[in-house]
Amino acid sequence: MLLTSFPAGPLQANCYLVARDRGAGCAVVDPGMDSLDGVRRAAAEHDLTPQAVLVTHGHFDHMWNAQDVASEFGCPVWIHPADRHLLSDPMAAISGESAAMLRQQLGMHDLPEFAEPADVRDATDGATFDVDGVTFTVDHVPGHTPGTVFYRIDWPDDEAVSQVMFSGDFLFAGSIGRTDLTGGSHPAMIESLRDRILPLADDVVVLPGHGGQTSVGRERVTNPFLVQIVEGDA
């Protein structure tokens, strides 16, 4: 397996490229703001051809360049139906005041034109799909946004790792995604953590949308939100 990543944009969101090997088709996970050139460089460096764009949720720092990557490489975009409208209107996920602040921070008077990519596919709960020999499983985990998902793949290259998951802004090392933005729900987040993270094996590697990697086992015993759920259930 081949996995590479880079942080992009003012919020340093992680963009990942994953493939079965050099010279293969790859999936691009969360091509956010200012990520297109990074995708091009990573694909060229490893002789990869993007064949799918996977969006964990519809916030701009994770999907800003989704349309551009999909258009340039002629590939579909996977996103949960509840967040699909954000592909063409990403500012709908934040307040008008926050959008104005964003424009000011980015030095933009007007935001670029967004449009839904030509080929959009539903990343619904339990869905599986293949990208040139790599099989992805979708887990719907509302809380950060109504359509937040994470994607899991089996990891045969290391006996100490059973799977790798791309968690977006759902789960971080030592924290979880915020739930105070438009469409966020703390009760839904807690339910998603209980039902979708705690049952996973400890050796599942977590690759979040921001910051460094972690594992389900580590988060189970150190993440205060998961610890509170475990102690409360006990």
15 forms beta bridges with 6
Closest CA to 59 of 216, 214, 209: 209
Nearest in space to 136 (alpha carbons), one of 146, 127, 148: 127
- CATH code at 121? 3.60.15.10
pLDDT in tens, 85-126: 999 988 788 766 666 666 666 666 566 778 899 999 999 999
Please state the separation of Cα 102 from the chain's center in Å. Answer: 21
> If you ran DSSP here, which 8-state letter would residue 193 be given?
I
Domain boundaries, position 226: 2-233
- CA torsion 186→188→193→197, rounded to 10°? -150
Query: What pLDDT score does 90 carry?
Result: 85
What pLDDT score does 109 carry?
59
Over 195-210, what HEC string results?
Answer: HHHCCCCCCCEEEECC
Q: Which residues contact 88 (CB under 8 A, 6 or more apart)?
A: 114, 115, 116
- Is the distance from CB of 121 to CB of 76 less than 8 angstroms? yes
pLDDT tens for 127-142 read 999 999 999 999 999 9
Query: How many Å apart are CA 183 and CA 90, to the nearest integer?
Result: 13
CB 207 within 8 A of CB 192: no
- Distance between the two ends of the chain, CA-based, in angstroms? 38
Please give the model's pTM, rounded to 2 decimal places.
0.94
Domain count, the chain: 1
Residue with tokens 């998951």: 165
pLDDT beneath 50, residues of the chain = none
